[in-house]
């Protein structure tokens, strides 16, 4: 049996929930069990650490959850954990249970909390990237992104049906906070006329209008424009208004997909990713790793300093924008 640097660990889910968090939790709990490591689940993210909401977990605690969206541990963005007093209470509870390692499943806010907690109290921490935004460095994809992308694609396909029937223009807003991964890929996959993402510096209303004119010339009678929620040029409503002013004959509608993108049963890719990273997080702690994130790069589990995971960025593939533009007309 593998040697282990830790004998008792805790796991929590924090920040915006993402499909596949449950599959990651299942992997953490069952890997710990396999290697004779005691495992506690912590409810409602860092709030549970502060308010002593720990529950001992075993293989049966995570039965039938690999296919469930959301997180059975619940999640929170803890304001209290941002204070030194909050973190001191959290550490006192970790000591009470003899926790030597903490698996933090979430996004950059979660990782920032994990990093500070590790630096202040020396407790071993390891991050698992769980967010639909895909905005974490050190992993090709985050857990939940693939499912959210497919949810967005399905929704936009449905919008296309009605857009086509009524010869309408739709502005569709998708999630992603400051990142445009969901917008770019769902836009390409649904044949959007234009895709507006925050990573593109030179987005302009003139370019958008030029695309409408080209579409008109080529005989297009309906169009979809996918807009990332973090787009800097304007939000979907403002874009719709400006377009109406410039093209008064257009019948324009706006659809904001919103939180439906965070729900639903995780895709196969997300379940596999979550299972591998949950396993990798526990074995990483066993190997003495700390203050790192377990991510997947080119189909291998890799460990990245948590600071890099937070601060560095995966680049958007600009080719996809060009391909989308060429194929949309």
In the block, which residue shows the tokens 């958008």?
Answer: 208
For ligand F6P, the nearest residue by Cβ is: 16
Q: Compare residues 131 and 223 and give the one whose CB is closer to ligand F6P.
A: 131
Q: Compare residues 176 and 266 and give the one whose CB is closer to ligand F6P.
A: 176
Q: Which of 133, 194, 203, 270 is catalytic?
A: 133
CA–CA separation, 34 vs 1, rounded Å?
Answer: 10
| Residue 133 is among the residues annotated as catalytic for this protein | yes
Do you know the residue count of the chain?
Answer: 329
Q: Compare residues 16 and 280 and give the one whose CB is closer to ligand F6P.
A: 16
SS (H, E, C) 290-315: CCEEEEEECCEEEEEEHHHHHHCCCC
Furthest CA-CA distance within the chain = 71
Rounded least distance, CB 176 to ligand F6P, Å: 5
- Residue 214 tokens read as 């080209």
Q: Compare residues 74 and 177 and give the one whose CB is closer to ligand F6P.
A: 177
Given a contact cutoff of 8 angstroms between Cβ atoms, the answer to whether 154 and 260 are in contact is no
Given a contact cutoff of 8 angstroms between Cβ atoms, the answer to whether 320 and 185 are in contact is yes
Rounded least distance, CB 45 to ligand F6P, Å: 12
CA–CA separation, 68 vs 78, rounded Å?
Answer: 24
Q: Which of 7, 314, 55 is nearest to 185 (CA)?
A: 314
Rounded least distance, CB 17 to ligand F6P, Å: 8
* Interface contacts to ligand F6P, rule CB under 6 A: 16, 107, 131-133, 175-177, 229, 262
Rounded least distance, CB 268 to ligand F6P, Å: 22
Tell me the catalytic residues. Answer: 133
């Amino acid at each position: 049996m593998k040697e282990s640097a830790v004998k008792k660990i805790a796991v929590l889910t924090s920040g915006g929930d993402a499909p596949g968090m449950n599959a990651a939790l299942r992997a953490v709990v069952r890997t710990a069990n396999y290697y004779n490591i005691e495992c506690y689940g912590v409810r409602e993210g860092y709030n549970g650490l502060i308010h002593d909401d720990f529950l001992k977990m075993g293989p049966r605690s995570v039965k039938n959850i690999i296919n469930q969206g959301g997180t059975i541990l619940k999640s929170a963005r803890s304001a209290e954990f941002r204070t030194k007093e909050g973190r001191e209470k959290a550490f006192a509870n970790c000591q009470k249970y003899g926790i030597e390692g903490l698996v933090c499943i979430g996004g950059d806010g979660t990782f920032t909390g994990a990093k500070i907690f590790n630096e202040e109290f020396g407790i071993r921490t390891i991050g698992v990237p769980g967010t639909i935004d895909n905005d974490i460095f050190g992993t090709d994809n985050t857990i939940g992104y693939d499912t959210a992308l497919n949810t967005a694609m399905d929704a936009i396909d449905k919008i296309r049906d009605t857009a086509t029937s009524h010869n309408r223009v739709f502005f569709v807003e998708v999630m992603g906070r400051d990142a445009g991964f969901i917008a770019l890929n769902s836009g390409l996959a649904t044949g959007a006329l234009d895709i507006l993402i925050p990573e593109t510096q030179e987005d302009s209303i003139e370019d958008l209008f030029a695309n409408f004119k080209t579409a008109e010339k080529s005989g297009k009678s309906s169009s979809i424009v996918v807009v990332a929620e973090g787009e800097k040029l304007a939000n979907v409503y403002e874009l719709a208004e400006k377009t109406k002013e410039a093209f008064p004959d257009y019948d324009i509608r706006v659809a904001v997909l919103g939180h439906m993108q965070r729900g639903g049963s995780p895709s196969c890719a997300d379940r596999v990713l979550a299972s591998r990273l949950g396993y990798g997080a526990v074995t990483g702690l066993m190997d003495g790793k700390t203050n790192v994130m377990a991510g997947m790069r080119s189909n291998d589990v890799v460990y990245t300093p948590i600071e890099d995971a937070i601060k560095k960025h995966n680049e958007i593939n600009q080719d996809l924008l060009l391909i989308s533009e060429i194929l949309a007309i």
